[in-house]
């Protein structure tokens, strides 16, 4: 059963944001961490150990951590293009066709994103920006309790549109054939079967088997997120992904069968996933409760779903749709679904969401696989300032400054004045030298 909450109850529980640094670790996680790394070692400290050893020992550390953490003892780290081809050929035709269609929609969507070099001569000489693709991108593809080939497509295809040519893709062993097939359809040459913090470390520092990358993208578990957090500045990072989350705003016009299905789909990810419905309609809320219970019994991951809904999910009864919109804006969900009669008027009231799913036919599962935008979106309330993965994540911008002599002459006194005020006399002297030359 999915619980009903008042707004005040929800603010103290399922709507309450806890920063990553303050997130409480479960006793089971702490116990396992201490078993593997030593008494009193916390998850962030365990990640520090992994990062340090990979930086110092390279492939030797990768194999040791793969054996200890993933029970993977093969010497072979790299899966070749031939093996990816074989995996592709082993798939049923309908799966191949679904993957082709998905990858093409992702590519078409991102090709529409404007990313253009520009110059202006309206300010004296030429000023502008140049967009340069990142030379090598690292992609982490989660393995965990379910293989996610869609995450590979959602990461690699936008980068290819941006112009990136070289990829290092890491995923936990054993690698599922559909992930290999996704790599094949993207034209990749290899996949490295390493997971967890050790994979992030390998891509950040480089080893004999794993080339160093310019930026790492892709979600992962807690240890992956902690590794990205600790390596920020050494390598580019797309963001720190918390548990996935969906928030739905619905009114009396919404279909309770569909709403229940969408909440169950979100809760299926893992026990930390959040599936939250906001509605002012008590009858709808009760119908959704009934449907959740009815549909849950037929699902293969019903234990995970039930735990997720119990710990992180719920239905919040609001006074109005307007109050629901205000709560959604404050919560800043990864996915915000607007299952209301007039979704566009509601859309205008909300600024904070990783993705807006407008109307009941634009349900979140389509965004996960085939709509077009990358499903790698900001979580944990970071949609207040962060964006979904997109072409701009795979380019860097350089400023172009090519001033003409007259403009330089006019600007030099300004620069000299400000430099003197900042007590940077060498800066002022450099500007004054140009001023003397122009006399």
Q: Is 323 one of the catalytic residues?
A: no
Question: In angstroms, rounded to a whole number, what is the distance separating the alpha carbons of residues 50 and 65?
Answer: 8
* 427 in catalytic set: no
Residue among 110, 184, 335, 375 flagged as catalytic = 335
Which residues share a beta bridge with 190?
A: 80
Question: CA–CA distance from 393 to each of 113, 237, 437 (Å)?
Answer: 12, 9, 43
Q: How far apart are CA 338 and CA 279, in angstroms?
A: 11
- Phi and psi at 128, nearest 5°, equal 180, -165
| CA 140 – CA 200 distance, rounded (Å) | 8
| Opening angle at CA 340, ends 335 and 342, nearest 5 | 110
- Token representation of residue 33: 């961490």
Give dist(CA 73, CA 101) in Å, integer.
36
Of 368, 367, 342, which Cα lies nearest the Cα of 357?
A: 367
Strands 126-133 and 395-402: antiparallel
Among candidate residues 268, 334, 360, 364, the one labeled active-site is: 334
Q: How far apart are CA 305 and CA 271, in angstroms?
A: 7
Q: Residues with catalytic annotation? A: 334-335
């Amino acid at each position: 059963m999915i619980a009903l909450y008042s707004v005040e109850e929800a603010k103290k529980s399922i709507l309450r944001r806890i920063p990553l640094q303050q997130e409480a670790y479960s006793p089971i996680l702490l116990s396992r961490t201490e078993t593997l790394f030593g008494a009193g070692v916390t998850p962030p400290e365990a990640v520090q150990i992994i990062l340090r050893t990979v930086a110092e020992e390279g492939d030797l550390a990768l194999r040791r951590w793969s054996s200890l953490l993933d029970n993977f003892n093969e010497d072979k780290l790299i899966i070749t293009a031939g093996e990816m081809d074989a995996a592709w050929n082993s798939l049923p035709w309908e799966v191949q066709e679904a993957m082709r269609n998905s990858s093409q929609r992702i590519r078409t969507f991102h090709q529409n994103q404007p990313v253009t070099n520009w110059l202006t001569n309206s300010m004296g000489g030429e000023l502008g920006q140049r967009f340069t693709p990142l030379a090598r991108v690292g992609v982490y593809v989660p393995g965990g309790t379910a293989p996610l080939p869609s995450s590979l497509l959602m990461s690699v295809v936008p980068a290819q549109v941006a112009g990136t040519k070289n990829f290092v893709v890491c995923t936990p062993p054993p690698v599922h054939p559909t992930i290999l097939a996704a790599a094949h359809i993207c034209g990749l040459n290899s996949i490295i079967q390493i997971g967890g913090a050790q994979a992030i470390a390998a891509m950040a520092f480089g080893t004999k088997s794993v080339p160093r990358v310019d930026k790492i993208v892709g979600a992962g578990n807690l240890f992956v997120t902690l590794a990205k957090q600790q390596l920020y500045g050494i390598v580019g990072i797309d963001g720190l992904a918390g548990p996935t989350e969906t928030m739905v705003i619905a009114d009396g016009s919404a279909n309770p069968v569909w709403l229940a299905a969408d909440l169950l789909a979100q809760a299926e990810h893992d026990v930390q996933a959040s599936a939250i419905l906001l509605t002012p309609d008590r009858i709808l809320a009760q119908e959704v409760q009934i449907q959740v219970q009815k549909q849950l019994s037929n699902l293969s991951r019903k234990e995970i779903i039930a735990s997720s809904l119990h710990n992180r999910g719920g239905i919040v009864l609001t006074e109005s749709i307007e109050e629901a919109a205000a709560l959604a804006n404050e919560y800043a969900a990864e996915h915000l679904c607007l299952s209301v009669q007039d979704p566009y008027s509601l859309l205008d009231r909300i600024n904070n969401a990783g993705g807006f799913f407008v109307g009941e036919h634009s349900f979140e599962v389509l965004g996960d696989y085939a709509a077009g935008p990358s499903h790698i979106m900001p979580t944990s309330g970071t949609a207040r300032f962060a964006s979904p993965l997109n072409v701009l994540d795979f380019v860097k911008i350089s400023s172009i400054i090519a001033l003409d002599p007259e403009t330089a002459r006019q600007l030099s006194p300004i620069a000299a004045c400000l430099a003197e005020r900042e007590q940077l006399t060498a800066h002022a002297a450099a500007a004054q030298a140009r001023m003397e030359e122009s006399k």
